[in-house]
Each structure stands twice: as structure tokens, then as C-alpha cells.
């Protein structure tokens, strides 16, 4: 990220008001999550009291930590955690490699059909999943994927968006670097592995985070292709909590919401630097 | 342009393109064709021409679902994009304190599962006295009886869905704008300073045009996403959405679960047509050729 602008200089009162407005917006981003965690540690009675308190009553060791155990066990979240993690990790790793290779071909290699391929990808990006999912489901059925990990993994091993994103990032790598590699006797794949990938690491990280989040949070497609309880992913399992077991127990629902939310926030905090750098690299900047 | 490079390029592209063809492109084409058939999933589909579309046009849920989808898209996308621009411009100013922390905080709603978002907001908006929002509004002096049913099927239900949607999407657009703001050339600001422009004039005449390609990207992708709005309604309102809370995609999903696959596909095609029309309008009016990233 380049330097910040010294040029916008409103007067002190305006500055104070702008700070107040932006911090107020940030606060509305946090309050619902604070409320979620607070509620997850209350008893059912405390939660629906008409004089709600921000903190659960009593000392931290008196709070209802048991809600987490209940959410975990009742909804069998351990199993679904593993399902979601396996799917998200495999998809992120493999799709990352496939999208980057395809993006490299489209950005830096000369071959007949390059423009046409790129145009087709842009068109595919506009297709809503609502038009494709019925036959995507039918094809998964033919392949025996329905109700299996494959249904959640194979269709996502490459994506038009991911290829587009990688192509934009790789296009910014100077051609001189590639030529230098060729003089050293590198083949196309070696150039990709030893020159391209190291120079676009932040974009790779950003796409990895996008892919991981999209897979972890994916809701519509699993809802369609997963029927059995065993293969459900975390969002499906947590969604069923509200309808099945605890319609009136906000604390247990909030505990489940916390359980599925926290890992993502941690992943993001860990990688956010690379993520933000990666976005600036992709050529969709001003 | 060696022959080996051409061969390698197709080797790199073959598998990714095959995946996209098999699970996106071909199913989409088949889906469009299916919208002219009647099919319940078993047996062979029966060709019925435009019958699905005719039935759709005269069906009860179609008009409100179409209206709500358009209102949703036309309200949330500009507010999210414009609001994010102003927030990003503030965060980007050198006198602003706490930029990194706020960027992170604003981004959190974007990464959280929609299912968790639904749980949290239904609880915050709960009509019982324990609902946080109503409790807060009462504290500010509003009468409980005068408060709307945030999660009902009236217009307030749509307002709620739009509000949560903006709340969720703001941070993503802020992060993208921050990246774009770093790319506005310093010389343009210096020129404005020489001309004695005020901060607001500079913001409007230099910064805003400077991030045009990003605005273009956010409006186009935002509209495409908004016309497909589905999961936020499902988790906040449920499949029983009706009146002001129904949207095209949820209607499609209900028909799908009833095994009316051709009819369901016809709704998907309507969403696709809306996407194409709105994208084309935006592309023209925003000058896609130069602004396209």
C-alpha cells in the first residue's frame, strides 16, 4: 500500500466528526458479535430477561460455559468441523494451483485461442449458480458424487473468478524476469514455479483466503447435494440447530454461532497483511 | 510463439477448463434449455415451449419477488459502494487514527458464515423485550407498540434484509477501495492544492474520479451478486418468505424443492436476463471500455 494522502485536510471539528462517524459504524460491526458471545454464556432465563445485561451475571467461572458443550454435542459439531475443514483445505490448495497455472497460461503464454478462452471465462463469471445447479447436481449424480466429499470438492477445483484474479496478478510480473529465466534454461513450468509464484505471493494468499472463506461458509450448494447427516458441513449443521433442537434456546444457538465464527476470524487475523497486499496487486486498483 | 509453449499452455489450462465446463458452463446451457421443458427429475422432460414463462408471469409470488429483488439490488449496492468510498477516504487520510484496527473490524462481518449472521441478527432483532435493538430503542424513549416487526413480511422485513446486507458488505468494499486509493497519483492532489481546492472539492473532483475503475468493479460485481440474493433471506426470514420478504432466488429454491425443475430453471433464466441487462446498462453509462479494470 502506498503512502497515505496528506492532502485532505478538513478543519479540526470536521475531523472529530469524521472520526466519530467511522468509529460509530465500526461499533455497529462489533456489537452483534459481542452480544452473541455474551448471550452464549447466559442461562436461558438470563438471556430472555426483559432487563438484559451486557455481561452474563456473576463471575466468569459462574458463566454458562456448558452451552458450548451442549451445542457441540447435540449438533455433533466435531464431525462437521472435520467435514468443513477437509473440504475447505483440499479445495483451497488444489484450486490455488489450478487457477494459478491457468492464469499464468492466459497472462504470459502465447497460443492460438488465448483471447477466446479469456472472453469465455468472463462470460462464465456472469452465470448465476441458479441456472447451473440443477444439471451440476445431475452430473454429480452420474459421477456418484452426491452425498460424498467429491460433490463438495471436485466442482470447486478451479473457478473462472480465480483464474481471472490470477491472470490479473501475473500480468503485472515484468516480462524481463521471465526472459531471464528462459536464458537460464527454465521450461514453462519452472518459470511458473520459481519466478511467477514467488513474485505474486500476496495475490496467492489473498485468493487462498477468498477460496477458504467461500468454501467454509458455502451454504446453497451443500444444501442441494448433501442429504445424509454424516456428510453435512458446519453451516448446514448449525442451521439445523435452530430448527431441530433448540428453537427457544438462544444461548445454545449463540454458542454454536461462536464456534463456527471464531476460526475464520483467527485465520483472517493471521493472514490479513498478505490479504490486503494481495488485493492491491490484482490490477483492479484505481 | 513456439509449438511447445502452445502445448504447455493447453496442458496448464486443460483441467481447470474441464472443471468449469463440466460443472458451470454445460449445466448452465442445459439449465437454459430446461426452462422450456416440464421435468420432475425422473422420466424424460416434456417440451412445453414458453409455458413455464407464461405461468411464471401470471403466478402470485413472481411480481413481489421481482420487485423486492430489484429494490434490494438498487438500494444496497449504491449505498454499500458510496458508503465504503467515504469510509475508505477517511481511513486513508493521514490524520485518521486507528486505520489498521478499523479496517480489520469493518471486515469481520464479511468473513463470518451467513448462518451465524442469521442467528445473531434474529436474536438482536427479536421482538421480545430481550431483543437488543428494541430494548435500545425503548431506552431512547420510543414506545414498544410503535416499533415495527423487523422480521415480519411487511416492508420493514425488506428494510431489515437490506440493512443487514449493507452491514455485511461494507467492509469488503472498504478494503478494496483502500487498495485503490493507494493508486491515485500524488501529482493530482498537488495540482488540486495549488488550485486552492477545499477538502470536499478535492475528494469529489480528484479522489472519486481517481478510483473510478474500482467503483465500476464494485457496482458491476455487486449488482450481479445482489440479483442472486438468497441465503441472507433464508437465514433471516426462512423459506416461508412472502410479500415484502420474498426474492426471485428463494422462489426458485421453493419450486426446486417441489421438483418443478423446468419452472425453477425459468426463474433462473429471468435472474440471468436481469443480470445481463443491468450489467449492460452499467457498462454503457459508466464507460466500461476505459474504466474496465
Compute the mean pLDDT over every residue in chain B, rounded to the nearest whole number: 88
Among residues A45, A67, A89, which one ends one of the domains? A67
**Is the pLDDT reported for residue A281 higher than 80?**
no
Residues A46 and A89 in one domain: no
Residues A88 and A208 in one domain: yes
Dump pLDDT digits (tens) for B238-268: 888 788 999 999 999 999 999 999 999 999 9
Residues A35 and A132 in one domain: no
Structural domain contains residue B276: yes
Nearest to B271 among A52, A101, A128 (CB): A128
Average pLDDT of the residues in B97-103:
88
Do A104 and B111 make contact, defined as CB atoms within 8 angstroms? no
The pLDDT, as a whole number, for residue A282 is: 57
- Give the Cβ contact number of residue B9 at 10 Å: 24
Under the banding of pLDDT at 50, 70 and 90, the label for residue B73 is very high
A82 touches B at CB < 8 Å: no
What is the number of domains present in chain A? 2
Instruction: Judge contact between A286 and B211, C-beta under 8 A.
Output: yes
φ and ψ at residue B47, rounded to 5 degrees = -70, 130
Q: How far apart are CA A107 and CA A102, in angstroms?
A: 9
CATH number of the domain bearing residue A171: 1.10.3720.10
Q: What is the largest distance, in Å, between two alpha-carbon atoms of chain A?
A: 75
At residue B244's C-alpha, the angle toward residues B239 and B249, to 5°, is 45
In the block, cell 463470518 appears at: B112
Helix, strand, coil share of chain A (percent; to 5): 75, 0, 25
- With contacts defined as CB-CB under 8 Å, which chain B residues touch A242? 119
Residues 6+ apart with CB under 8 A from A251: A39, A40, A41, A42, A43, A44, A47, A64, A67
DSSP class of residue A49 equals: -
Q: How far apart are CA B210 and CA B204, in angstroms?
A: 10
Do B93 and A5 make contact, defined as CB atoms within 8 angstroms? yes
CA B27 and chain centroid, separation: 23
- With contacts defined as CB-CB under 8 Å, which chain A residues touch B5? 109-111, 188
B61 touches A at CB < 8 Å: no
Coil, strand or helix at B2? coil
Dump pLDDT digits (tens) for B9-35: 999 999 999 999 999 999 999 999 999
**Boundaries of domain holding A230:** 72-280
**Boundaries of domain holding B23:** 1-29
Instruction: Judge contact between A99 and A159, C-beta under 8 A.
Output: yes
Q: How far apart are CA A47 and CA A44, in angstroms?
A: 5
Question: Testing the interface with B: which of A11, A15, A23, A32 to mutate, by most B Cβ within 10 A?
Answer: A32
Query: Which residues of chain A from 108 to 167 reach within 8 Å of chain B, CB to CB?
Result: 109-112, 114, 117, 120-121, 124, 126-136, 138-139, 154-155, 157-160, 163
Dump pLDDT digits (tens) for A11-37: 888 899 999 999 999 999 999 998 888
Q: What's the grid cell of residue A133?
A: 445447479
The pLDDT, as a whole number, for residue B150 is: 87
Q: How far apart are CA A192 and CA B81, in angstroms?
A: 36
- Give the Cβ contact number of residue A273 at 10 Å: 12
Coil, strand or helix at A226? coil
The pLDDT, as a whole number, for residue A280 is: 64
Residues A46 and A172 in one domain: no
Dump pLDDT digits (tens) for A100-157: 999 999 999 999 999 999 989 988 988 888 889 999 999 999 999 999 999 999 999 9
Residues A18 and A58 in one domain: yes
Residues B110 and B253 in one domain: yes
User: Which residues make beta-bridge pairs with B38?
Assistant: B46
Instruction: Judge contact between B253 and B235, C-beta under 8 A.
Output: no
Under the banding of pLDDT at 50, 70 and 90, the label for residue A3 is very low
The pLDDT, as a whole number, for residue A7 is: 57
Q: Look at residues A93, A249, A132 and name the one whose alpha carbon lies nearest to residue B20.
A: A132
Structural domain contains residue A213: yes
Amino acid at each position: 500500500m502506498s503512502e497515505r494522502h496528506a492532502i485532505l485536510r478538513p478543519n479540526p471539528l470536521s475531523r472529530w466528526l469524521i472520526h466519530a462517524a467511522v468509529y460509530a459504524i465500526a461499533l455497529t460491526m462489533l456489537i452483534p458479535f459481542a452480544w452473541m458471545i455474551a448471550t452464549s454464556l447466559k442461562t436461558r432465563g438470563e438471556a430472555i430477561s426483559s432487563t438484559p445485561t451486557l455481561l452474563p451475571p456473576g463471575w466468569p467461572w459462574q458463566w454458562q460455559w456448558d452451552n458450548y458443550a451442549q451445542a457441540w454435542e447435540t449438533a455433533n459439531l466435531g464431525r462437521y468441523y472435520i467435514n468443513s475443514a477437509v473440504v475447505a483445505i483440499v479445495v483451497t490448495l488444489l484450486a490455488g494451483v489450478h487457477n494459478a497455472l491457468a492464469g499464468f497460461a492466459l497472462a504470459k503464454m502465447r497460443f492460438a485461442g488465448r483471447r477466446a478462452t479469456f472472453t469465455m471465462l468472463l462470460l462464465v463469471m456472469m452465470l448465476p449458480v441458479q441456472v447451473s445447479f440443477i444439471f451440476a447436481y445431475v452430473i454429480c449424480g452420474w459421477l456418484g458424487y452426491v452425498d460424498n466429499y467429491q460433490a463438495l470438492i471436485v466442482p470447486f477445483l478451479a473457478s473462472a473468478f480465480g483464474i481471472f484474479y490470477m491472470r490479473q496478478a501475473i500480468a503485472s510480473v515484468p516480462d524481463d524476469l521471465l526472459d531471464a529465466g528462459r536464458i537460464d534454461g527454465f521450461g514453462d513450468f519452472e518459470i511458473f514455479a520459481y519466478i511467477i509464484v514467488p513474485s505474486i505471493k500476496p495475490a496467492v494468499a489473498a485468493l487462498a483466503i477468498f477460496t477458504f472463506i467461500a468454501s467454509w461458509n458455502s451454504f446453497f450448494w451443500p444444501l442441494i447435494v448433501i442429504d445424509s447427516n454424516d456428510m453435512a458441513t458446519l453451516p448446514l449443521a448449525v442451521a439445523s440447530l435452530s430448527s431441530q433442537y433448540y428453537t427457544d434456546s438462544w444461548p445454545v444457538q449463540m454458542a454454536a454461532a461462536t464456534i463456527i465464527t471464531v476460526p475464520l476470524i483467527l485465520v483472517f487475523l493471521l493472514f490479513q497483511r498478505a490479504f490486503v497486499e494481495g488485493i492491491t496487486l490484482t490490477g483492479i486498483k484505481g | 510463439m513456439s509449438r511447445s509453449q502452445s502445448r504447455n499452455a493447453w496442458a496448464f489450462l486443460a483441467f481447470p477448463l474441464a472443471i468449469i465446463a463440466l460443472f458451470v458452463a454445460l449445466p448452465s446451457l442445459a439449465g437454459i434449455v430446461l426452462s422450456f421443458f416440464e421435468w420432475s427429475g425422473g422420466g424424460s422432460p416434456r417440451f412445453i415451449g414458453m409455458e413455464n414463462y407464461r405461468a411464471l408471469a401470471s403466478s402470485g409470488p413472481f411480481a413481489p419477488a421481482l420487485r423486492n429483488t430489484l429494490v434490494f439490488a438498487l438500494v444496497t449496492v449504491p449505498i454499500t459502494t458510496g458508503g465504503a468510498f467515504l469510509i475508505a477516504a477517511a481511513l486513508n487520510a493521514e490524520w485518521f487514527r486507528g486505520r489498521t484496527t478499523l479496517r480489520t473490524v469493518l471486515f469481520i462481518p464479511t468473513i463470518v458464515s451467513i448462518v451465524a449472521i442469521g442467528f445473531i441478527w434474529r436474536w438482536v432483532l427479536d421482538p421480545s423485550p430481550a431483543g437488543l435493538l428494541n430494548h435500545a430503542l425503548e431506552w431512547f424513549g420510543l414506545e414498544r407498540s410503535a416499533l415495527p416487526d423487523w422480521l415480519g413480511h411487511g416492508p420493514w422485513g425488506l428494510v431489515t434484509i437490506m440493512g443487514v446486507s449493507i452491514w455485511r458488505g461494507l467492509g469488503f468494499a472498504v478494503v478494496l477501495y483502500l487498495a485503490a486509493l493507494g493508486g491515485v497519483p500524488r501529482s493530482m492532489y498537488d495540482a488540486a492544492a495549488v488550485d486552492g481546492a477545499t477538502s470536499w472539492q478535492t475528494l469529489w473532483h480528484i479522489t472519486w474520479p481517481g478510483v473510478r475503475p474500482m467503483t465500476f468493479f464494485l457496482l458491476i460485481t455487486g449488482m450481479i451478486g445482489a440479483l442472486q440474493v438468497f441465503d441472507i433471506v433464508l437465514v433471516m426470514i426462512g423459506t416461508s418468505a412472502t410479500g415484502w420478504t420474498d426474492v426471485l432466488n428463494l422462489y426458485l429454491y421453493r419450486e426446486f424443492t417441489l421438483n418443478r425443475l423446468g419452472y425453477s430453471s425459468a426463474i433462473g433464466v429471468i435472474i440471468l436476463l436481469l443480470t445481463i441487462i443491468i450489467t449492460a446498462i452499467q457498462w454503457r453509462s459508466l464507460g466500461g471500455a476505459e474504466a474496465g479494470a
